[in-house]
Amino acid sequence: MITVVSERPEDAPAIETLLDDAFGARRHTKTAERLREGKGPAEGLSLVAMERRRLVGTIRLWHVEAGNVPALLLGPVAVHPDWRNRGIGAALVETSLKRAHADGHGAVILVGDAPYYGRFDFRRDLTLDLSLPGPVDPDRFLGLELMPGALAGARGLVRGTGTPVAATRATPLADMDRAIAAYSY
């Protein structure tokens, strides 16, 4: 049985391993990482999927400003290879979006697979007037309004606005440990 729960500090090593396995060593070079760099995830919106005591999936949302509009950045999302195609990724996305809406957030953006995220109502037209701080396939830059009209008038560069964490970079795991320590669950 899979349960989706809030991420805990002790989950950090398993999350880092899962993300490395899912996205490879170059995951820290992606444009979306520029928005997360030096920031902690949005409080209460980092979730894990657990099968008994084994972490099998993860999702995080981050505070950003989409041009002139406050929003969240969804990602990364990863599911252990042995547990893929069982609806775990969808459960993580749905749960995080429900929590974000319940917390009063108006919009979520992401860089991801349009056919996959389209089923959650993410659309390209909501990000047409926005840009990211680096290269990205424009067809993969998607938005979702949790509240109608939340991205209306959003124009310009997306930038990270979350809680700052230690600026020194040692290892990705050390960075994650600092990010987790920067907020409570």
For the chain, the structural domain boundaries read: 2-181
Encode pLDDT of 56-65 as tens digits. Answer: 999 999 999 9
Phi, psi of 41 (to 5 degrees): -60, 160
Beta strands in 96-164 (DSSP E): 107-111, 130-131, 141-145, 156-160
Res. 177 pLDDT band, cuts 50 70 90: very low
Encode pLDDT of 98-117 as tens digits. Answer: 999 999 999 999 999 999 99
Cβ neighbours, 10 Å, residue 104 = 8
- Percentage, residues of the chain above pLDDT 70: 90
Peptide bond preceding 76 in cis form (omega within 30 of 0): yes
Distance of alpha carbon 144 from alpha carbon 122, whole angstroms: 5
Average pLDDT rounded to a whole number, residues 51-58: 96
Cβ neighbours, 10 Å, residue 168 = 9
Residue 82, classified by CB atoms within 10 Å of its CB into exposed (0-12), middle (13-18) or buried (19+), is exposed
Distance of alpha carbon 76 from alpha carbon 50, whole angstroms: 17
Query: Directed axis angle between helix 172-181 and helix 12-23, to 10°?
Result: 130
Determine how β-strand 69-79 pairs with β-strand 107-111: parallel
pTM: 0.87
- Percentage, residues of the chain above pLDDT 90: 80
CATH number of 2-181: 3.40.630.30
